Amino acid sequence: MTWRKFSGEVIQTPILEEVEHAIERESLLGNKLKVCIGTDSQVKGAVTDFATVIVFIREQRGGFMFIHQERTSQKMSIKERMLTEVQKSIDTAYRLCDLLDLYDVDLEVHADINTNPMFKSNQALHEAMGYILSMGFVFKAKPEAFASSYCANKMVQ
């Protein structure tokens, strides 16, 4: 699984190691961190692009992110696609949660799902929320889900 920085630089070390280095570096600089994980997707003809982001928020000092992109030609309904996004975010959160706990870094999982029933993505809201909460993660949906709605969204356009 290839991750990269926003600059485009490919991360050569395993993502767990890179996250730990980032936490240690930011801690030495006196920054308190929060991590938000989210995934967004975009259908382009017969393919669907997914982008998962690990966003590090520095309290009062901006942030940075790591990005993983995938492409599939599998056909999916809107609900399947939304739940696939959530699955990708949960997989990443699950891989990082012990490390984040060790360093006392708060974690949120963001779903690019609208809380307004007028939007198609809303049909996956209850399943996504139940899935994320049942895994023990803090859940955020639109409009609070900036990791998926803004950060990951920029990576799939």
pTM for the model stands at: 0.94
pLDDT confidence band for 157 (50 / 70 / 90): confident
| Domains of the chain, first to last | 4-156 (3.30.420)
Per 3-state DSSP, the chain is made up of helix, strand and coil in percentages (nearest 5) of 40, 30, 30
Distance of alpha carbon 75 from alpha carbon 47, whole angstroms: 8
Residue 109 · residue 130 · CB < 8 Å: no
Q: Is the pLDDT of residue 82 over 90?
A: yes
pLDDT, tens digit, 9 for 90 and up, residues 98-143: 999 999 999 999 999 988 889 888 888 999 999 999 999 999 999 8
Arithmetic mean of pLDDT, 70-78: 95
pLDDT, tens digit, 9 for 90 and up, residues 85-101: 999 999 999 999 999 99
pLDDT of residue 122: 87
List helix spans (H) across 103-134: 125-134
Instruction: Name the residue among 72, 142, 131, 59 with its Cα closest to residue 153.
Output: 142
N-to-C CA span, the chain: 21
Arithmetic mean of pLDDT, 11-27: 97
Distance of alpha carbon 73 from alpha carbon 84, whole angstroms: 13
pLDDT, tens digit, 9 for 90 and up, residues 29-45: 999 999 999 999 999 99
Residue for token digits 């899935």? 131
